[in-house]
Structure 1
Amino acid sequence: MFVDVLFGVLPLFFLMLAGYGASYSKRFASVEPALNVFVFYAALPALLYQVVARADISGGVPSEFLWGSAGAALLSAVLFWAIFRYLIRLGRARSLAGMLTASFGNVSYLGIPVILGVLGPQAGFAAGMGQLVHNVIFMVGFPVLAQIALPATQASGQRPNFGRILRTIRAALLYNPVTWAMLAGGAVVTWQIHLPSPVDATVDMLAAAAAPGALFTIGLSLRRTVQRLSRTRVVPDSGEGQRGASSAMLIMVLGKLLVLPLLTVGVLRLFAPQLDAVWFNAAVLMAAVPTSATAYIMAQTDTGDGEPTALAIVITCALSLLTLPLLAQLFMQ
């Protein structure tokens, strides 16, 4: 199993490395924003529409998968908030950023390709639902929590208000093309709508670009993250000290790569022992992907303290090449 999964994820990491290598070329200096827009608004929605529209939904979505994945992610967030805030005694802003870093993985751009590469196309529906659960929890929950927990965000200095919170929720849910793509796919398969073959062929072409485009984009963004880190020294939080900063980084890395997937395994095995293997494996792999590149943007925007997250992104991406196959060997059914 270890070798099978390793060989399944190696091409994905090679694509990331290709993107990282291409970032050194002047030709690709301005490519990342455009490529990211293409993947997020066109290719990835096409892929998720495709896997949902062609999925066997006769058994529905197992409720155990939804609440098990959500429960493990929320439990992870609460656990790491308590560790950072009350054990290491970090400030509120850095504790929130650390919680996000240790709990929110790259579920869309890396999680979906990993699950499809390891489990095959039959796991596409589970991959789509898994990324939706994680994205809703963190891309909606974290900005709202940050606005409530911090008297004024260090990045903007604006105090939270009900209108801003509603706009945050609306932007994350109603303006997210991935959500609408999955709803469209669900409508097609539920009502057995047959689209013209040229439309299906166009969707297939866009969907085929999703995984390589997303992984190449991750590689380009890693270069930018490394450059940012080379210009900025991660400053210890007030009263934290360098030793505390190192401990916090270790907890963020181990938390994302090991603790969250282990919590997911524990919750599902304890409360959903009969869950179908495809759904169980998809939940574990989705929990085991490295920290999301979006986590840096969210941490920086909502707490003003994103540099530790940027470093954790680079470290978790490198180590996940080993931790993903190891977790698959130990726990996949």
Structure 2
Amino acid sequence: MFLDVLYGVLPLFFVMLIGYAASYAPTFPPSVEPALNVFVFYVALPALLYKVVAQADASGGVPSEFFIAVIGATLLFSLLCWIVFRYLMRQDRPRSLAGMLTTSFGNVSYLGIPVILGVMGPQAGLAAGMGQLIHNVIFMVGFPILAQIMLPAAGGKGHKPSAARMLRTIRNALIYSPVTWSMLIGGAVLIFSLPVPKPLNDTVDLLAGAAAPGALFVIGMSLRRTIDRSFRRSPTPSSSGEGVVKQAPRGSAAALSVMVLGKLVALPLLTVVCLNLLAPQLPAIWFNAAVLMAAMPTSATAYIMAQNDTGDGEPTAMAIVITCMLSVIALPVLSALVLR
């Protein structure tokens, strides 16, 4: 199993490395990454999700135990992270919330779906789609709302909680998301056996084929920017008027270690425990998809959310880089130990 998964994920990380190397080439200026990201998120990835859902084998249905176990494990782990950062490590509220997000929210869309399809094949597409949807709903909807409630003035932005702001968060993350609509349309085609003209299917196939390499290439390009953030320190004025390097907060190394080990080890293992307790008869495809989704390295989106909602994204940027690099080995090791 170790070699099977290693050989399955290595090509994906090689594409990421190519994207990282391309970010240094003059033919790939910084403006290329946002354009590619828009194409992947609004066109290629929705095409892939529509395809895997519309063509899935739904004879066994979507196990409710899958949702219960994944949601339960993710929420429980997030709560434990908050307790660790806030009360054991004595971090302030913004850093504790950012730490919780960083340790819990993985790159389930751009990396999780390609990894699961690469390791288990297209028959795991429905499980991969449902898994990424659960994680994205929890964090893309739940975290901004939680930040509005707990940090009314984070980063000086004035996060006053209100029903209107919360509804806008839900609308932007769900109703306006092409990922949501692509899965809904694919589900309708699957459930009602709707006929789809061959030219349209062939077009979707072409676009879906660009999703995995496009997403991985974008991750690679963004990695350079994330690394730059990780090692950059904001200057603070000294008494002489000259800028000095801002020192990392006390305990930041320990906090970073918790983020990395929590994301790559603790969350997937807790997910295994919850699956065995709450869904012992879950088919292997759904079990493996849930564990692999939990084991994804920290999402690049987590940096943006931590910076915008808590005013503190530097530790998240470092965790993204480290978890991404270590996941090349962590994923195969985890797979050999716990996957069915």
TM-score by length of 2: 0.95
Between the aligned partners of 2:170 and 2:105, the Cα distance in structure 1 is: 17
Asked if residue 5 in structure 1 is aligned to residue 1 in structure 2, the reply is: no
In 2, the alpha carbon distance for the partners of 1:150 and 1:158 equals 6
Deviations 1:71-110 (A, max 9, x none): 1111110000000000001010000000000000000000
SS at match of 1:26: coil
1:24-71 CA distances to partner (integer Å, 9 max, x unpaired)? Answer: 012212210000000000000000000000011122110111111111
Q: How far does residue 151 in structure 1 lie from its aligned partner after superposition?
A: 2.2
Gaps of 5+ in 1: none
Distance 1:159 1:197 in 2: 50
Alignment of 1:1-333 (within 5 A): 1-29=1-29, 30-154=31-155, 156-232=157-233, 235-237=247-249, 241=250, 244-333=251-340
Deviation by residue 1:270-291 (Cα, 9 ceiling, x = unmatched) = 2211000010001001110100
- Confirm or deny: 8 A CA contact 2:148 2:161 kept in the other structure: yes
Residues 151-203 of structure 1, C-alpha deviations (whole Å, 9 max, x = no match): 21215234222211111111111001000000000000111111111100000
Partner Cα separation in structure 1 for residue 139 and residue 248 of structure 2 = 25
Shift in Å at residue 235 of structure 1? 4.7
Q: Shift in Å at residue 142 of structure 1?
A: 0.3
The amino acid of 1:172's aligned partner reads A
Quote the Cα distance in structure 1 between the aligned partners of 2:68 and 2:105. Answer: 16
Q: Which residue of the partner structure matches residue 242 of structure 2?
A: none
Question: What is the deviation of 1:232?
Answer: 2.3
Cα 1:211–1:115, aligned 2, differ >3 Å: closer, same or farther?
same
1: distance between equivalents of 2:91 and 2:115?
Answer: 34
Given that 1:155 and 1:303 are in contact with CA atoms closer than 8 Å, whether structure 2 keeps it comes out as no
Alignment CA distance shift 1:83-1:161 (3 Å)? same
**Deviation string, structure 1 residues 213-265 (Cα, Å, up to 9, x no partner):** 0000000000111122233267544xxx1xx1111000000000000000000
Question: In 2, Cα distance between the equivalents of 1:75 and 1:235?
Answer: 33
Segments ≥4 residues shifted beyond 3 Å: 233-237
Change in CA separation of 1:86 and 1:11 when aligned onto 2, cut-off 3 Å: same
Cα RMSD (Å) of the superposition?
A: 1.0
1:27, 1:152 → 2: CA distance?
A: 42
Q: Where do 5+ consecutive residues of structure 2 fail to align?
A: 235-245
Aligned residue in 1 for 2:240: none
C-alpha distance in structure 2 between counterparts of 1:169 and 1:125, whole Å: 23
Is this contact kept in 1: 2:230–2:315, CA < 8 A? no
AA matched with 2:258: I
Letter in 1 for 2:41: F
Residue pair 1:152, 1:160 contacting (<8 A) in 2 also: no
> Secondary structure of 2:19's partner?
helix
Counting matched residue pairs gives 328
Counterpart AA for 2:334: L
Percent of paired sites with the same residue: 69
CA contact 1:155–1:302 (8 Å) conserved in 2: no
Secondary structure of the structure 2 residue equivalent to 1:102: helix
Could you tell me how far apart the structure 2 residues matched to 1:101 and 1:278 are? 27
